[in-house]
Structure 1
Amino acid sequence: MNLLGFTAVLGLLVGVWAQIDVLKPPCDSLVAEEVGEVAQDYLNAHHKSGFKHRLNRIEDIKVFTKPDGDNTYKIEIDLLETDCHVLDPTPVANCTVRPKALTAIEGDCDVVLQKVGGALTVTAFKCKTEESTEDMCLGCPTLLPLNHTVALDFVSTSLGTFNNRTENISYVVQEVGRMSSQIVAGGPIYLAEYVIVEANCTDDPCVPLNDVMASRGICTAKGLNSLHTVDCKMFPTLMPFVDTNSTSAADPAIPPVVHATYKHGRKHHLLTAFHNPHLSGYLSAESAESAEVVPVVPVVLDIAPAAADPVPTAADPVPAAADPVPAAADPASDASDASDASEEPSSKDLGGLKFKREAPAQLVSAPADAPAASAGPIAAMPVCPGKVKFF
């Protein structure tokens, strides 16, 4: 590309970026909560194995605004594993987050969303799933690898116990959700959670029904092969299949049968690791975060009018002739004028909350010996990360 062409392209890019503001609303604002919940639901819909996750904390959020109102959101969220399997139609808001004592699984996700015509759509994400070992107690259950031979044998034995209680129907293991061991007075016992699916057992071994209407449920078992308890809860309906555009397919997909033999030594299921992380342009490597072309503009909540200039009182007289200061050089007056002049054009309305860009520092600067309270509006925002919802 010749120099003239390069200069023209560069000018166009600068013109486009100049029309984009990058705002940082508070992480506990209604805007952030709405974006966080949409991201949570989308990630759960694309989580094909294991358990649903709930939003625990919003770490950071940026809003890339455009003049046409089609905003882009980049949000960083922490998620915690619940006791609801992804096939369980129970709304995630009604699912219980696993306590740390039972070894919580945490998800750390960066998600990019676009708001077009008032609707939020996820365009990219990347997630990291980790096992939390904080606050582990002596005697608490300890997660086992999903390919643990003895624990898998316990799963098979406990399922046999359940099948013996059913009439004219048998089940096989579709997926092992998690397995753990616990030391009790009599020695170690096993705890297991696994998904079962209706099977055809006319032949040996039983073959899972390749039918979306086949009965499915989740079992929880505890004990040893020789003595244990097992309880299975059947799912009333299957979760609808959700495609990459977050739209329900006409026909629900048949969940794949995941046999109880795992080649990996992982102790838990992982959230889907990524979707379009590079093509979005917003989920670049952490090292590139500081090299963003558009500077982040902090915002303050527009919740009160600007404070009026202080009025001298008898207790604090101001001599008329002592060290006069020209009106044009009065810092307080400059700050007030700058605030009045910039308040309206810099206002932003996101999801019902009104934000405004903070005035540049040089326009609201105060003398070095001035008290902090007179330095202009209190920039209490942005406030991130947000509050922890669970632990």
Structure 2
Amino acid sequence: MCATMRGLVILSVLTVCALNCASVPTRDTSGRHWSCDENEKEPGARLAMLSINNKHFHGYKFQLSNITSSTVEKGQSDCKLHLELDLQETTCHIINPKSFEECDIRKYYETQVNAHCNVTLSITEGITEVSKHSCNTEPVSPEKIVRMCPDCPTLLPLHSPEGLESVKAGLRQFNMDHNYTSYFKLMEVGRITSGYMMMTGMYYNAELAIVETECNAKSRIDTQACKPLCPDKARHGLCKSTLLGNGQVDVDCEIYEALNASSPRTPGRECGHPPHRSGHHIHPGIKHHLPPWVQKPGKPGPLPGFPERPGGPPPGDEVPPPGPHNPPPGPHGEFPFPHCHGFVKIPPSIHPLCPFPPPHHPHPYPRPHGHGPPPRHSLPPHPTHVLGEGHPPHVKA
């Protein structure tokens, strides 16, 4: 049966982003003078939210729910503002050009995801930057969901074989039905849920981020070989797919127009990605193909109620060149999973907020909590590497 498909094209004036500067602190460039007292907790919390979302390269954007505490640590000529923040996941995937503040919070019965974050802001001579954050990201427990809504879908691991069938079926159906000239491929799996209906049995819902490729939508080629277009020339989208027990698939996609849609579309290999260094493997996942509408991590823009600094940012606000952040492949060629070590349960069902600055591990599979040998054979493949037209990657036992 044909699926229903709706393409909602959103045109937006967007800011170019330096995605590889994930290790650069987010600095306020509004020009306001920050003081060393707890009255700064509200603007500090918003700057923290800008920083957290700008350094979140997988999954969904987050909104501030509550400031649970704030303390000021004063030095001789500077100070630190320590904040504890409660966050809630929104329904906007990171590829959505909306500001996180415009996004809807995920409903409780949809398995809401919450995060508790400790954030440190450094204030020197009235200028502040977010120097550190660490978050604990957790979905609402299935037991709580069942008590409130016994018939609501249950959150599944991101590599659930049945859920990935919904991902593949939805992507296949979208590419059959859409009117674009290019083929779209999977960027990452956002989330997977399952439920039961009397008439059709088990059903599997999936949310998947997709990107436009250099391949023609109607050509008969190996779609796994299709390369994404350059981030500023590619359309991106978020699809919601449902695969019913009788094999029927429904897919609904929201498509975001390219930043530079009028320019010639060129293959992803010509996009000027960071060059490969000798002995260093660049992660080929979602980060290199993200659309460029996240704010530049070092320059979050003016805070509400404060004008932009006349004449540009203060001296020393230039963003340094990016360094290598991607670890080498795992023991069988698969890339490390999950993408923030020690901050998500195995098997993962959500995309957690990773700590900043990112920790450095001597081994791509660090020992969890310092105990036992590296889990070389038990980790599932990274969800960003599930191919839309092929079988889920195999992990050797």
Among 76, 95, 98, the residue aligned to 1:90: 98
Question: Which letter maps to 1:98?
Answer: R
2:67 aligns to what? 58
Distance between the aligned counterparts of 1:181 and 1:87, measured in 2? 24
Residue pair 1:179, 1:191 contacting (<8 A) in 2 also: yes
Letter of the structure 2 residue corresponding to residue 35 of structure 1: G
- Alignment partners' CA distance in 1, 2:337 and 2:249: 24
Equivalence for 2:214? 200
Q: Is the 2:162–2:204 Cα contact (8 Å) retained in structure 1? A: no
Q: Could you say if the C-alpha distance between residues 110 and 277 of structure 1 is closer, same or farther in structure 2, counting changes exceeding 3 Å?
A: farther
Q: Displacement, 1:115?
A: 2.5
In the TM superposition, 1:261-272 aligns within 5 A as 265-272=347-354
User: Is the CA contact (8 Å cut-off) linking 1:223 and 1:229 kept in structure 2?
Assistant: yes
Task: Give the whole-Å Cα distance in 2 for the aligned partners of 1:157 and 1:251.
Answer: 41
> For the residues of structure 2 that align with 1:31 and 1:229, how far apart are their CA atoms?
48
Map residues 25-104 of structure 1 onto 2, 5 A cutoff: 25=38, 31-66=40-75, 68=77, 70-104=78-112
Q: 1:226-258: CA deviations, max 9, x gaps? A: 223211111234324634676897999xxx9xx
Count of residue pairs the alignment pairs up: 247
With normalisation by structure 1, the TM-score equals 0.56
Q: Answer whether contact 1:171 1:198 (CA < 8 A) is retained.
A: yes
Deviation at 1:223, TM superposition (A): 3.6
**8 Å contact 2:214–2:229 — kept in the other structure?**
no
Aligned equivalents of 2:319, 2:183: Cα separation in 1:
29
Give the equivalent residue in structure 1 for 2:152. 140
Alpha carbons 1:171, 1:208 under 8 Å: kept: no
Do the aligned residues in 2 keep the contact of 1:146 with 1:178 (CA within 8 Å)? yes
Conservation of the 8 A alpha-carbon contact between 2:36 and 2:123? no
Q: 1:234 and 1:66, CA in 2 relative to 1: closer, same or farther beyond 3 A?
A: same
Deviation of 1:146 (Å): 0.6
* Secondary structure of 1:182 counterpart: strand
Gaps spanning 5+ residues in structure 1: where? 1-20, 279-391
Partner SS, residue 40 of structure 1 = helix
Any idea what the Cα deviations from partners look like across 1:132-179, whole Å, max 9, x if unmatched? 123442011111111111110111111111111124221111110001
Matches within 5 A, 1:346-357: none
Q: 1:242 matched to which residue of 2? A: 296
The change in CA–CA distance for 1:55 and 1:158 in structure 2 (over 3 A counts) is same
* 8 A Cα contact 1:75 1:112, kept in partner: yes
Name the residue aligned to 1:164: 176
User: Mean Cα displacement is larger for which, 154-163 or 108-117?
Assistant: 108-117
Q: Which amino acid aligns with 2:296?
A: V
Residue 112 of structure 1 corresponds to which residue in structure 2? Answer: 120
SS of 1:188's equivalent in the other structure is strand
Q: In the alignment, does 2:199 pair up with 1:178?
A: no
Helix, strand or coil for the counterpart of 1:211? coil
The residue that corresponds to 1:283 in the other structure is none
Supply the distance in 2 between the matched residues of 1:248 and 1:266 (Cα, whole angstroms): 37
- Distance across 2 between alignment mates of 1:33 and 1:243: 20
User: Could you tell me whether the CA contact under 8 Å between 2:298 and 2:319 is conserved in 1?
Assistant: no
Query: What amino acid sits opposite 2:64 in the alignment?
Result: L
**Higher radius of gyration, 1 or 2:** 1
Does the 8 A contact of 2:117 with 2:134 survive in 1?
Answer: yes
1:54-95 C-alpha deviation (Å, 9 max, x unpaired): 111111110124565x43200011111100011211011110
Matches within 5 A, 1:124-135: 124-133=132-141, 134-135=144-145
1:35 Cα deviation from its structure 2 partner: 1.2
1:35 is paired with a residue whose SS is: helix
What is residue 242 of structure 2 aligned with on the other side? Answer: 222
C-alpha distance in 2 between matches for 1:120 and 1:22: 10
**Could you tell me which residue of structure 2 aligns to residue 209 of structure 1?**
228
1:191-212 deviation digits (Å, cap 9, x = unpaired)? 1111001123453134132412
Specify which structure has the bigger relative contact order, considering alpha-carbon pairs within 8 angstroms and separated by 6 or more residues. Answer: 2
Q: Which residue of 2 aligns with 1:354?
A: none
CA contact (8 A) 1:221 1:229 kept: yes
2:60, 2:89 within 8 Å by CA — same for their partners in 1? Answer: yes
Q: What secondary structure sits across from 1:226 in the alignment?
A: coil
Deviation at 1:217, TM superposition (A): 0.8
Determine which structure has the larger helix proportion and give its number.
1
Taking structure 1 as reference, are residues 97 and 158 closer, same or farther at Cα in structure 2, changes over 3 Å only?
Answer: same
1:120 corresponds to which letter in structure 2?
T
Decide which of 130, 146, 166 is 1:122's aligned counterpart: 130
1:217/1:248 CA distance change after superposition, 3 Å? farther
> Secondary structure in 2 aligned to 1:111?
strand
Which of 236, 239, 253 is matched with 1:232 structurally? 253
Alpha-carbon distance between aligned partners in 2 of 1:176 and 1:273, rounded to the nearest angstrom: 21
Q: Is the 8 A contact 2:122 2:130 kept in 1?
A: yes
Report the Cα offset of residue 31 of structure 1: 2.8
Match of 1:44, SS? helix
For the residues of structure 2 that align with 1:122 and 1:77, how far apart are their CA atoms?
14
**TM-score, normalization: structure 2?**
0.56
